[in-house]
């Protein structure tokens, strides 16, 4: 389903997907929500990539806007939110697995097994 208030630069599905997911941080947020049990802003800040807080806030808002993530308040004062992937967000798992495999095979990156929740080879993913 398309977000009708956004004007894409291209009709190409790859270009459109990259407009939403192609920056350096967005898929790392999806990874942490999906595989690493990080569901609060504070937990997401603890990732080893050390995403700047303004970038994290901006990316979460974009993921919510596009229906990949939901948020629910779990504390009132100050208001704090818990973030969860939607079905649309969880549908990115095969993409994450392929990117991880490619990085492992071509860049000697870490390999993570989301089923076993363990790192299979050096580096954390």
What's the whole-number mean pLDDT along residues 89-93?
97
Comparing 52-56, 86-90, 108-112, the range with the smallest average pLDDT is 108-112
Comparing 22-31, 69-78, 114-123, the range with the smallest average pLDDT is 114-123
- Distance CA(114)–CA(120), nearest Å, equals 10
User: What is the per-residue pLDDT across 69-89, written as a single tens digit (0 to 9) for each?
Assistant: 999 999 989 999 999 999 999
- pLDDT given at position 8: 80
Structure-model confidence comparison of residues 84 and 106, the more confident one: 84
- pLDDT given at position 11: 86
Is a pLDDT exceeding 70 seen at residue 38? yes
Comparing 37-46, 97-106, 114-123, the range with the smallest average pLDDT is 114-123
Is a pLDDT exceeding 60 seen at residue 2? no
């Amino acid at each position: 389903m398309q977000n009708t208030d956004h004007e894409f630069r291209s009709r190409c599905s790859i270009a459109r997907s990259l407009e939403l997911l192609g920056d350096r941080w967005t898929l790392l947020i999806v990874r942490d929500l999906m595989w690493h049990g990080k569901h609060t802003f504070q937990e997401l800040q603890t990732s080893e990539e050390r995403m700047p807080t303004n970038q994290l806030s901006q990316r979460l808002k974009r993921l919510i806007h596009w229906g990949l993530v939901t948020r629910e308040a779990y504390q009132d004062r100050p208001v704090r939110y818990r973030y969860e992937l939607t079905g649309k967000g969880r549908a990115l798992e095969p993409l994450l697995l392929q990117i991880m495999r490619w990085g492992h095979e071509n860049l000697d990156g870490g390999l993570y097994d989301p089923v076993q929740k363990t790192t299979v080879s050096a580096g954390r993913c």
